[in-house]
Amino acid sequence: GVNQILELKNETFKNLIKLETLILTGNNINLIEYDAFSNLTNLKMLDLNNNPIRRLDFMMNLQSLIEIGLLGCNLKAIERHF
């Protein structure tokens, strides 16, 4: 973490299909496009703690996800779409 990443664009991780853990804690991520994680079919743990994220619609593409860290994010509500 702490790389000051601001955005995750569509297909950011498209060549990392075997990735199981992704830690992005403490950046400044405020935008995650819908298909940013679309090819991460094996992702089980995603840590987004302490980022100013407001939306979670990108999670529709994370079918294998078991654990997600969202502490310190700017979420107002979490809808039950996933």
Answer whether residue 78 shows pLDDT above 70: no
pLDDT at position 79: 64
* DSSP single-letter state for residue 50: S
Average model confidence (pLDDT) across the chain: 88
Q: b/e string for 30-49 if b means 16 or more Cβ within 10 A? A: eebeebbbbbbeebeebbbb
Structure tokens at 39: 């090819």
pLDDT at position 21: 98
Within 10 Å of residue 77's Cβ, how many Cβ atoms?
5
Each residue's pLDDT tens digit, 21-65: 999 999 999 999 999 998 899 999 999 999 999 888 888 888 899
Answer whether residue 4 shows pLDDT above 90: no
